[in-house]
Amino acid sequence: MAQNGVLLELRGVGKFYGRGERRIDAVANVNFVIREGEFVALLGPSGCGKSTLLRIITGLAPASAGEVLYRGEPLRGVNPHATIVFQTFALYPWLTVQANVEVALKARGVPPDARRERALKLIDLVGLDGFESAYPRELSGGMRQKVGFARALAVEPELLCLDEPFSALDVLSAEALRGELMELWTSRAMPTRAILLVTHNIEEAVFMADRIIVMDKDPGRVINEVEVTLPHPRHRKDLRFLAMVDRVYAAVAGETPKDVTMLGVAPDEAGKTEMLPHAPINAIAGLVEHLAEEGKRVDMYRVGDDLGMELDDFLPTVEAAELLGFVTVQEGDITLTPLGQTFAGTTIIARKEIFAQRIRHQPTIRWIIEELQAAEEHRLAEEFFLETLQRHFTPDEAERQLDIAINWGRYAEVFEFDDDRDELYLPI
């Protein structure tokens, strides 16, 4: 039986893919509960297993280890009490808004009249009144995502799971839709008992959630939990809001391990491929220079603001600087290392040397250099690298990985990129 209104409980949940040497631990030993009435955010960097956990919780994929309890009972097969809203909702282009919402109800055998009534009510609820007979192509991205929400709500899930539902929208639509969801949730206009929001956006989590479960990757795991006690509606400029963002920053960034070694393997090796943080060299250099001016230990949150960087750009930049040994991170503060100070204060040529020396050990960079050394005329098509990267990352991510690698490699002059022929080559 459910105790203290516990809706969902994860006990030692793990998920791995592959076996033996090739085994990848997507998530390991995850424990948490979600209670009735809670809005919980699962926050962590890309690849830490957030979507994997949602698939396990909704029963779309089995866990490899541990147990998922729903209202005290072990979950077997698809969870009938939970639904997911994805980043981009797959609407049927040949169906109207109303028919798209009705689809889920039809699948559950709800009779036509009841279907129609419930669909119309939800369309109204999400603010799409008047668009019942429109087709998806006639709608903006924000409106399409509202249809996705209406469809997910149509089956009246007890647990609504949201997998980065705002990240594909433009800034304004995303903010509007967040506000509308909070309005629905806090006014109890929807029968949903709990919401689990997956996000990699700290402010979004602080804006919406009662509790933030912080994850990290390699392997995907829970590293922290933060209660957000601010009343709704929350205001982003509010001092308490900012202080909370700061606290979550500290929880996310954790602490630099004593020996910053480069973890993970190259894309052509077995095991978990190390991911390059999405940080171009000018951002890394900008951060290091800024810290050199500020001196000593600085509040991470303030640095991001000073540099005018979005969190999604700032965090990877800090991660990159950390990976390179230029900074350390502790309790939400960031400190320049002696190497970082040297980097900031030296000539362009010396900077390139320091940078080259650091990145040569990074598995992806090392792999590119080795492939080029072995290749005829030390040249290889960009395609060659993309194909291998696509075995580990989505096509988009594979391209970003190569873009970052080329950005770093070019700056450090460890390899070059020929824009005309789309080839990488070793400088002579």
Give, in degrees to the nearest 5, the angle at Cα 54 between 157 and 173: 75
280: DSSP letter? -
Calculate the CA 287 to chain-centre distance.
Answer: 22
Stretch that binds ligand ADP, among 40-48, 122-130, 143-151, 300-308 (CB under 6 A): 40-48
CB of residue 23 vs ligand ADP: minimum separation in angstroms?
10
Based on the shown chain and the rule CB under 6 A, indicate whether residue 220 belongs to the binding site for ligand ADP: yes
Query: How many residues lie near Mg ion (CB under 5 A)?
Result: 1
Please count the other Cβ atoms lying within 10 Å of the Cβ belonging to residue 375: 16
Letters for 47-86 (x = contact with ligand ADP by CB under 6 A, - = none) are xxxxxx----------------------------------
Nearest-approach distance from CB 137 to ligand ADP, in angstroms = 28
Residues numbered 127-156 forming contacts with Mg ion, rule: CB under 5 A: none
CA-CA distances (angstroms) from residue 346 to 88, 115, 322, 336? Answer: 46, 69, 19, 15
Q: Shortest Cβ distance from residue 41 to ligand ADP (Å)? A: 13
Query: How large is the angle between the packed helices 395-412 and 382-389, nearest 10 degrees?
Result: 130
Report the nearest approach of Mg ion to the CB of residue 88 (Å): 12
By a kind-dependent CB cut-off of 5 to 8 A, residue 17 interacts, out of ligand ADP, Mg ion, none, with ligand ADP
Asked whether the beta carbons of 153 and 160 are under 8 A apart, the reply is yes
**C-beta separation of 278 from 269 below 8 A:** no
Kindly report the number of other CB atoms within 10 A of residue 379's CB atom: 15
Integer CA distances (angstroms), 248 to 183, 211, 212, 280, 391, in order = 24, 11, 8, 25, 33
**Residue that has been written with the tokens 């391990």 in this structure:** 257
Least separation in angstroms between residue 293's CB and ligand ADP is 35
The DSSP string of 119-164 is HHHHHHHTT-TT-TT--GGGS-HHHHHHHHHHHHHHT--SEEEEES
Q: Mark residues 13-32: x for contact with ligand ADP by CB under 6 A, - for none.
A: ----x------x-x------
Token code pair at residue 150: 């209406």
Binding piece for ligand ADP, criterion CB under 6 A, among 39-47, 184-192, 306-314, 338-346: 39-47
Which of residues 51 and 317 has its CB atom nearest to Mg ion in the complex?
51
Residue type, 238: D
Q: Which is nearer to Mg ion, 115 or 217 (CB)?
A: 217
Closest separation in Å from C-beta 52 to ligand ADP: 3
Nearest CA to 75 among 88, 85, 86, 60? 60
CB of 16 to ligand ADP, least distance (A): 9
Which residue, 51 or 100, is less far from Mg ion as judged by CB?
51
**Binding partner at 144 among ligand ADP, Mg ion, none, C-beta below 5 to 8 Å by kind:** none
CA distance 194 to 217: 25
* Cβ distance to ligand ADP smaller for residue 126 or 213: 213
CA distance 15 to 11: 12
Smallest distance from the beta carbon of 51 to Mg ion, in angstroms?
3
Pick out residues in 357-416 that bind Mg ion (CB under 5 A).
none
340 binds, among Mg ion, ligand ADP, none (CB under 5 to 8 A by kind): none
> What is the b/e burial string over 335-366, where b = at least 16 CB atoms within 10 angstroms of the residue's CB?
ebbebbebbbeeeeeebbebbbebbeebbbbb
- Map the footprint of Mg ion across residues 7-66, applying CB under 5 A: 51
Closer residue to ligand ADP in complex, CB, 129/387? 387
Q: Which stretch binds ligand ADP (CB under 6 A): 44-52, 77-85, 165-173, 276-284?
A: 44-52
Q: Please, which residues have CB within 8 angstroms of residue 363's CB and are 6 or more apart in sequence?
A: 262, 264, 265, 266, 267, 269, 273, 274
Nearer to ligand ADP, 44 or 165 (CB): 44
Question: Which one of residues 5, 11, 29, 46 is an interface residue with ligand ADP (CB under 6 A)?
Answer: 46
User: Interacting stretch for ligand ADP, rule CB under 6 A, among 46-54, 206-214, 324-332, 412-420?
Assistant: 46-54
Residues of this chain that bind Mg ion (CB under 5 A) = 51
Interface residue list for ligand ADP (CB under 6 A)? 17, 24, 26, 44, 46-52, 220
